[in-house]
Amino acid sequence: MTNGSDFSDATALALLNGHCDTPFGFLGIHPSDEGFALRVFQPGAARLTAVFKESSVALTEHAPGTGLFSATIREAAPYILHACSEDGTEWSFEDPYRFGPVIGEIDEHLFSEGTHQRLWHILGARCITHEGCQGTAFAVWAPNARRVSVVGPFNHWDGRCHVMRRRGATGLWEIFLPGLGEGTHYKYEIVGPDGQTLPLKADPVGFGAQHPPETASIVRDITGYGWKDGAWMQGRGLHNDRAAPISIYEVHLPSWKRVIEEDGRALSYKEAAVALVSYVRHMGFTHIEFLPLSEHPFDGSWGYQPVGLFAPSVRHGPPHEFRDLIEAAHAADIGVILDWVPAHFPTDAHGLAQFDGTALYEHADPREGFHHDWNTLIYNFGRREVANFLISNALYWLEEYHVDGLRVDAVASMLYRDYSRSEGEWIPNAHGGRENLEAQALLERMNTLAYGSQNGILTIAEESTAYPGVSAPVEAGGLGFGFKWNMGWMNDTLAYMARDPIHRKHHHDQLTFGFHYAFSENFVLPISHDEVVHGKGSLLEKMPGSRADKFANLRAYLGFMWGHPGKKLLFMGQEFAQPNEWNHNTSLPWDVLNDPAHAGVQRLVKDLNHLYRTVPALHCKDCVPEGFEWIDGSDADRSIVAWLRKGSARDAPVAVICNFTPIPREAVVVGLPQTGTWHEIFNSDAEAYGGAGVGNLGAVEANGPGAHGQAQSARVTLPALSTVMLCPSRPSD
């Protein structure tokens, strides 16, 4: 390699062989003994002319067919190059090597110390005006590379043409390519430390990508959208607070609803902005949670094996159209939560694996860097540049796309070094323990910066262990998440519901145990996509008994869930009792809504959401023990549970009573805290929901003697396999 400023034979040979790593040292304009030397590498050109403002200079080719040209000029001034090939084809272009650096010293410093919160402002492919010229600034981190080039159709994918500028010890490489803009396809050609040229790499901070299975990045101008959701953004904290009703509709956008008339294609972002948003609003959900929408090569990963963390998936449209979807949700008073995957990444050759010929983003040792469960790689959370990359990506979605929250996937796998590993397959931390201290620090910092920089957002952890303080503030020793999925509640209660009712009395604790720790974290009760895949069947299929019993069990369970302390999450399709396991390759079976039983479950979920949103006792103290009081949790023989949900002193309480046997119970004594009429505000056995219509004729009278530690009591009819809710005041419409 050469670092000299002369155009020697050695320099020429390095350029022609693709071994040159310092092209800015001699290409472009440089001082010479005779004034200035202008040097250009343009393969395919037979003649080359530099056109200045008031003159032009013909360049001389170093040797025939090399594409290496030079000329002596009197002054360093802007110029345009005009080329002509042997067959007479002509073209003009700006010389990238006449432009200075784009990345500033402060950005370099912040990047080096791992504290640059907006990496997308310096990395990736950014459409800018630089030194008076419009084009695209490319920048990438590849500290161990010998050479990095931008390649694409604009240079015939020739890595010799646009070799990037190395930025000192930072490991950054950059180049400004004038004339390139929106829609340009590109990749990085990287020569590793051993001199081998790697498979072409997509841009880790690229804002767009080709539709899989194609793998190139695409230049996308993500500036200048013109948001109109200011009112929502200002007040969204009220929608995301612990005291707010949060009912989440979890969506895999490619399979929510397909356009059957057009070969079953997925909806675009703009189509979803109408169809999905209007449906979610009609159903009364407060938030949409999308399975990952960052770019991923394999459809079957559902987005959980992302390659382009900064690129909204092109499967549904370009970035601005994703913004259209979010803005439409905000206009409908619906929050948007995005699944975010910092736990692992796939091994695809065009992705982050061995990015610069070394284990750059991942750990080199598979005991730390490889997930056996998913055959994916694990980020090196302790490397400051990698941690910075991930944290900046979280902030990117919150800031650039106005996403209201992040649900962080697979947190348990991040927190423990021995997660799903046998003895000898993992490396202890510096203290000899199993905790992943680096991952813990990353999550703490991500939450601190997210909550500190973005008004009113929320973060949610999918964490399945007893790790303490997941949703506690960082300053109090927690991880700083706003909420945590309650996986224990989900596993226990679904196992209970799957049992034949005759055996449920022997497993009553599976129903009640979740109440004992319901306030140890800020919990979300999740019936997620993970519960309706891989042979687990749909929620309806999990229920025992005849078809009618399955529907009754499901309706009772949903009532139990909505009456239980904690925020709610339901995966798409379960709101209308999807009959079969979810298939990501096809649309949800919307036609089943022609069946009154399925339509009844859909109406039930809609009504539950309405109650949850309008009755303060059902939501405002979801996460504190003051919002809950047992009436009776010990009636295992009859599989009955009853409790109170309470709000502030001025809010009417709600009694939730469940009967999980197929036997109707009449005149069941239920203790209640106050006398008078208690309205039946919900009954899962209502005919409108597909039930038998057994109930309490709209109300019961609390005029009996005290019971269950309450001052009064009422005699309540409990339909078979049902949940009933009573309240001394009617909810508002």
Residue 325 has pLDDT above 90, yes or no: yes
Question: Is residue 84 assigned to a domain?
Answer: yes
Average of per-residue pLDDT across 578-587: 96
Model confidence pLDDT, tens digit, residues 501-535: 999 999 999 999 999 999 999 999 999 999 999 99
Tokens 């303080």 locate to 469
Question: Is residue 233 assigned to a domain?
Answer: no
Question: Is residue 232 assigned to a domain?
Answer: no
Residues 699 and 712 in one domain: yes
- pLDDT band at 65; cut points 50, 70, 90: confident
For residues 310 and 393, the answer to whether their CB atoms sit within 8 Å is: yes
Boundary residue ending a domain (98, 124, 147): 98
Residues 152 and 260 in one domain: no
Residue 373 known to be catalytic? no
Q: What is the pLDDT of residue 361?
A: 98
CATH number at residue 366: 3.20.20.80
CATH number at residue 701: 2.60.40.1180
| DSSP sequence for 546-601 | SHHHHHHHHHHHHHHHHHSSSEEEEETTGGGT-SS---TTS---GGGGGSHHHHHH
Please state, in angstroms and rounded to a whole number, the distance separating the CA atoms of residues 411 and 439: 9
Model confidence pLDDT, tens digit, residues 638-662: 999 999 999 999 999 999 999 999 9
Residues 48 and 112 in one domain: no
Average of per-residue pLDDT across 387-397: 98
Residues 73 and 174 in one domain: no
Residue of 368, 462, 463, 575 marked active site: 462
Please state, in angstroms and rounded to a whole number, the distance separating the CA atoms of residues 358 and 353: 8
User: What does pTM read for this prediction?
Assistant: 0.95
Residue 35 has pLDDT above 90, yes or no: no
Token pair listed for 652 = 């009417």
Question: Is residue 337 assigned to a domain?
Answer: yes
Please state, in angstroms and rounded to a whole number, the distance separating the CA atoms of residues 373 and 686: 44
Domains in the chain: how many in total? Answer: 4
Residues 455 and 508 in one domain: no
Residue of 409, 444, 575, 685 marked active site: 409
3-state secondary structure of 432: coil
Residue 2 has pLDDT above 60, yes or no: no
Residues 540 and 680 in one domain: yes
Boundary residue ending a domain (73, 98, 123): 98
Question: Is residue 698 assigned to a domain?
Answer: yes
Residues 157 and 196 in one domain: yes
Model confidence pLDDT, tens digit, residues 605-618: 999 999 999 999 99
Tokens 């809609």 locate to 606
What are the two backbone dihedrals, phi and then psi, of residue 689, each rounded to the nearest 5 degrees?
Answer: -100, 0
Token pair listed for 183 = 């829609």
CATH number at residue 167: 2.60.40.10
Question: Is residue 228 assigned to a domain?
Answer: no
Residues 516 and 476 in one domain: no
- pLDDT band at 4; cut points 50, 70, 90: very low
Residues 309 and 450 in one domain: yes
- Alpha-carbon 496 to chain mean position: 31
Residues 564 and 707 in one domain: yes
Q: What is the pLDDT of residue 6?
A: 55
Q: By C-alpha distance, which of 35, 27, 39 is closest to 75?
A: 35
Q: Which domain holds residue 77?
A: 9-98
For residues 589 and 574, the answer to whether their CB atoms sit within 8 Å is: no
Residue 104 has pLDDT above 60, yes or no: yes
Residues 388 and 254 in one domain: yes
**Which residues 6+ apart lie within 8 Å of 261 measured at CB?**
none
Question: Is residue 725 assigned to a domain?
Answer: yes
Average of per-residue pLDDT across 151-172: 96
Residues 61 and 83 in one domain: yes
% the chain with pLDDT above 90: 93
Question: Is residue 530 assigned to a domain?
Answer: no
Residue 108 known to be catalytic? no
